Structure 1
Amino acid sequence: MRFNFAPQDILRMVRQRWYWFAIPFAILAMLGLFAISQMPALYKSRALLLVEGQQIPDDIIRSTVQAEAEERMLRVRAQVMARDNIIRVGERYGVFGNERMTRTEKNRIMQDQARIEIDRRQTGRRGQNASVMAEISFMDANPALAQRVANELMTQFQATIVEIRTEQASGTTDFLREEEQKVRRNLAQITDDIAQIKAQNPNALPDNRGLYQSTYQRLLIERDRIESQISDTQTQIGVLQLQKPVFESAGSPEEQDLRAKKRLLAQLRRQYQETYPDVIALKEEVLDLERDLDPSAFREDAREEIALLGRQLEDEDEGSADYDRIAARRSELQEQVRTLSATNGPVTASEASYQGQMMTLTSRIEGLTQARADIDRQVEDLESRIGKLPEVETRLFTLEQERERLSRDLAGIQAKRQEAMRSESIEQQQKGERVLVLEQPILPDEPSSPDKPKLALAVFAFAGALAGALVLIPEVLFAKVQSKSHLEDMMPGTPVIEVPRFQTADERTPKRIAMASLTAATVVLGVALSWTAYQTLT
């Protein structure tokens, strides 16, 4: 059977079974408070740190540590709370006592007792980085030990902050230094390649383009001039060939000049001696013309002159200047006579003039032809050099562009490395971030765990719930008619009249004794519960 419990039913149950609630509640509460009193007291020592941003303005020196402060603090916490480090701290300060434990057990104990909490706090100033609050704590049954371990963790936390920032700054500096060396190697390689190309192509360098082009134009102009001279000379040869009969039938101007000089020589001989300078000079001119125009007359006059020079040598002192001059002239005439004697025979003056002019023009043609051939070779060489210029210029231009780019990169990396070195110096001087110790770890005088008031409230709530369940369980599991409302539920529509039950004195006495006993037991348990609560919570 199931009944609906009205408020008067609940009041009836409380009135009839109040001891069912009070006695179990007191017993359970005392057991819970006793368990709380037996829990070991743990003392908590904590340190409070405030990590502020860089103190030097970024427009003066920009830090190379760009990671968020909270991210770095999480990394610091991970390093400080690492298994090996936290176990080493516990062993140093005797947290584990003399008990033999595995590293896993030691790590679990230290992780349970040590706490590092990171909290991000935004400052009220706009444009500034948020500050980071770090709370470092350690709990232990020994308050002095808790303080020492908390102080050690705080010291390691501060040192790790500086170490990480310095490491990051040093890492940036090392990276930039390696990049600088790499760029320097590439720049040196590019410079060597440029030097090698210039060494392999000394005659095809772009710097010589202007010189080559001007020289090329000059050679072309010179070749055109030489070709024009060759053409003019060939024309002169043709004209001379047409005039050959005239030379064969008439005397030449040279012959007329020869006759005039002979007449003048005769006049001078009548006036002066053979050693007179004008006579000597004119004789030499006459002999030169005779050698070309009248070889037979030249032979006769030359022999006479040689004999005369021989007599003059006899009169001069050997070793004097005149002696040497006369001897040289005599030898020259002898050689000319000997050479002239080896020719095929005498020619007329006109023929000699014709042959001389023809030989001159022919010699000029040969010289001009040789000069044109030389110019052709020079033009061909210049064309070959100019032809190589585009390829060499393209390679050099590409390498020069790359060298300029590497030079700019090198200058930029050097500037960044200098800035990174200044940033590293800031970190080494601990001026990048400021770590303020707001609270030092102190010796705790009150335990922080367990939280007895909260645990006592939980014990009371649990005992009350369990005692209340003991009151309701019989009504729910073993339901019976207890009131008028129950009958009305069982017999709907049937009028029900509730008649009170009267008890005799004999019936009331045992019940009163039982109630008095239960009341006394409840009072005793209540006093015991109060004393237990007082002892536990104070």
Structure 2
Amino acid sequence: MELEEEKTLKDYLQVARRRKYTIIVPMLVLLLISVVVAIALPPVYRSKATILIEQQHIPSDLVKSTVISFADERIQQIEQKLMTIDNLNKIIEKFGLYPNEKKLLTSSDLAAQFKASTTLELINADVVGKGKSSKATLAFTLSFDHKVGSTAQKVANELVTLFLDENIRSRTERAEESTKFLQEEAEKFKVEIQKSENQIAQYKEKYSSSLPELLTVNMSSIARIENTLQQLQLQEKMLEERRISLGLQISATSPVVVDGGDGKNAKVESRASIEAEYHSLLKKYSSTHPDVKALKRKIEGYEEQKNDKSTNSQANINNPVYLQLQSEINVAGVEQKNIGQQKIALTEQLKKLEVNVSQTHQVERGYYDLMRDLDNQKAKYKELIAKSLEAKLSQNLEVEQKAEKFSLLEPPRVPEKPEKPNRIKILFVGFLFSIIGGLGAGFVAEAMDNSIRNHNVLTHLTGAEPLVVIPYIENQEDLNKTRRNKINFAILILLLLAGATVAIHFFYMPLDVVFNRVSDRLSTLL
């Protein structure tokens, strides 16, 4: 029923008195449940290790490490590598963890339970550099929870060992991979350099006479050959004039000396004299002039006459002057022939040199392209060799553990006290919930009760004041009942205090010690 009058403190005390059992019983039940939960929950021990991240011992300006990832990233990567189902199940088998759960759970569920018992926490610090604030990971903690303290310490130590070994292995492996990669790339460039050198050698062999470095030699050779040709032409001209002169002289000289004469009156025309006259006329007239044609026919017919009369003529020639002139004409002819052959050879050589010079610029372009590629490859090869040596130093740095490394600052120890559950907290929360539950039960019972407890309610319902209010008169039975309630309440208080003492005792004393003491007491009694 709904009442509009305001309740006073006295009314609430009366309600508490009336509903004392409705309030106390739920309070006791909830408090008992919290005590049972606080005592019954198995203790969980935590073994924790602290691992320090040491910076590189040798200055990075002297030797740079090939591992450039941040420490927190590397820690997360190592955690992902180690916390696989296969690795975790090997650890579970090694230390005999979760013997009861193995019958009910799969390997994945066991690994998930192991992960839930493992905690990794980073220890960061604020670092100010170059006007910017950032966080740097200085260390990290690795812990494992288990109901047996010694087992927790063994598993935590195993995890720490795996972390340290994996960090060394991963850093060394990364340094080796960097060194191997750079060496392989250097070898590739070495092969490319050899190919380029072979191409240049073939190119130089193909255009051996048109190479840029031979341009000066070719130009000087052309100038020298042209000068030689000019000299040969001058010599040829002089020989031609000499032959003409000798031809004129021999035409005026008799080949035979007649009876003591000097031979100047007997004339026999020779081929040399006719040719000399022919060349003399060519300088005055063209090749179509009648006199020139007549001399040309005479030269052509001279060879036939010479074959018929050569024996008689040679036998009849006895003029030494004629013979001398004829010999000089023959020598001049031989020299002219030699000069002609030299001119032909030099002209061919000049043409080749001119072709070589004309190709030089095109050959130079292709040659410089090949040389530029070769120079670039050599520069890249030198750069890779230098980087390979640096990577080798970095690898030695990792192998000798002179680079950034994980150092065990605080090894995992056997815990003396359980990490959880927090029994005091459970008891305190249970105590609060028991009070709330008891008061709530009393409030609900009072709200559902429609009984009239005082004259104010009666006045509100009837609209009229009662004539007389008779107070409740306690008899002996009521007094005895009140006394018994006080005794029961005192006993309840004592039980609560005893329960709290036992809970505190269990919290501060390891559970295995309690079990040992209980077993010793039972053996003594038996």
- TM class by shorter chain equals 0.7 to 0.9
> Matches of residues 229-308 of structure 1 in structure 2 within 5 Å?
229-234=235-240, 240=245, 244=248, 248-249=251-252
TM-score, length basis structure 1: 0.71
Q: RMSD across aligned C-alpha pairs, in angstroms? A: 4.1
Q: Identify if the C-alpha distance between structure 1 residues 183 and 464 changes in structure 2 by more than 3 Å, giving closer, same or farther.
A: farther
* Paired letter, 1:240: S
> 2:17 aligned with 1:13, yes or no?
no
Q: Which residue in 2 is equivalent to 1:536?
A: 503
2:457 and 2:139 mapped to 1: Cα distance?
65
Equivalent pair of 2:250/2:326 in contact (CA under 8 Å): no
Q: Which residue of 1 aligns with 2:123?
A: 119
Structure 1 residues 236 and 410 mapped into 2: Cα distance closer, same or farther (>3 Å)?
same
Cα deviations across residues 345-369 of structure 1 (Å, max 9, x unaligned)? 5386776666556555554443333
Quote the residue 1:309 is aligned against.
none
Q: Distance in 1 between matches of 2:168 and 2:8?
A: 72
Letter in 1 for 2:119: R
Q: Which AA in structure 2 matches 1:181?
A: E
Structure 1 counterpart of 2:273: none
Structure 2 CA distance for partners of 1:482 and 1:208, relative to 1, 3 Å: farther
* Partner Cα separation in structure 1 for residue 390 and residue 454 of structure 2: 92
Q: Which residue of the partner structure matches residue 216 of structure 1?
A: 222
Alignment partner of 1:68 out of 67, 70, 81: 70
Aligned twin of 2:294? none
Q: Is it true that 1:205 corresponds to 2:211 in the alignment?
A: yes
Q: Distance in 2 between matches of 1:483 and 1:398?
A: 117
Q: Please say if 1:26 is aligned against 2:49.
A: no
Quick check: 2:52–2:408 contact (8 Å CA) kept in 1? yes
3-state secondary structure, aligned to 1:430? coil
Going from structure 1 to structure 2, the CA distance change for 1:413 and 1:14 (only over 3 Å counts) comes to farther
Contact 1:123/1:131 (<8 A) preserved:
no
User: Where does residue 405 of structure 1 map in the other structure?
Assistant: 376
- Per the alignment, residue 161 of structure 1 pairs with 167
User: Is the CA contact 1:248–1:351 (under 8 Å) kept in the aligned structure 2?
Assistant: no
Q: Secondary structure at the match of 2:140?
A: strand
5+ long unaligned stretches in structure 1: 261-292, 296-338
Structure 2-normalised TM-score? 0.73
Q: Alignment partner for residue 182 of structure 1, among 180, 184, 188?
A: 188
Contact residue 219 and residue 375 of structure 1 kept, 8 A: yes
Q: 1:361 to 1:123 in 2, by over 3 A?
A: same
Match of 1:379 in 2: 350
Asked if 1 retains the 8 angstrom alpha-carbon contact of 2:455 and 2:469, the reply is: no
User: Is contact 2:64–2:390 with CA below 8 Å preserved after alignment?
Assistant: yes
Distance change >3 Å, CA 427–CA 352, structure 1 → 2? same
Q: Secondary structure at the match of 2:86?
A: helix
- In structure 1, distance between residues paired with 2:497 and 2:399: 61
Q: Is 2:176–2:395's contact at 8 Å kept on the other side of the alignment?
A: yes
User: How many residues are aligned here?
Assistant: 451
Q: CA deviation at 1:520?
A: 5.1
Q: Name the stretch that deviates more: 211-220 or 361-370.
A: 361-370
Quote how far apart the aligned CAs of 1:429 are: 1.4
1:387 aligned counterpart, secondary structure: helix
Selected match of 1:447 from 405, 418, 421: 418
Q: Distance in 1 between matches of 2:417 and 2:319?
A: 150
Cα distance in 2 for partners of 1:341, 1:158 equals 123
Task: Mark the structure with the bigger radius of gyration.
Answer: 1
Rate the CA distance shift 1:431–1:484 in 2: closer, same or farther, 3 A: farther
Q: Which residue of 1 aligns with 2:155?
A: 149
Give the Cα separation in 1 of the matches to 2:203 and 2:211.
Answer: 9
The alpha carbon displacement at 1:533 in A equals 2.7
Q: Does 1:53 align with 2:30?
A: no
Report the CA distance shift for 1:386/1:523 in structure 2 as closer, same or farther (over 3 A). farther
Report the Cα distance in structure 1 between the residues aligned to 2:370 and 2:477, rounded to whole angstroms: 119
1:95 to 97, 115, 138: 97
Q: How much does 1:43 deviate?
A: 1.5
- Of 385, 408, 421, the residue aligned with 2:392 is 421
Post-superposition Cα deviations, 1:89-120, rounded to whole Å, max 9, x if no partner, equal 12101113364342123212211222222222
Partners of 1:437 and 1:126 in 2: how far apart? 31
Aligned to 2:362: 391
Provide the rounded CA distance (Å) in 1 between the counterparts of 2:314 and 2:448: 167
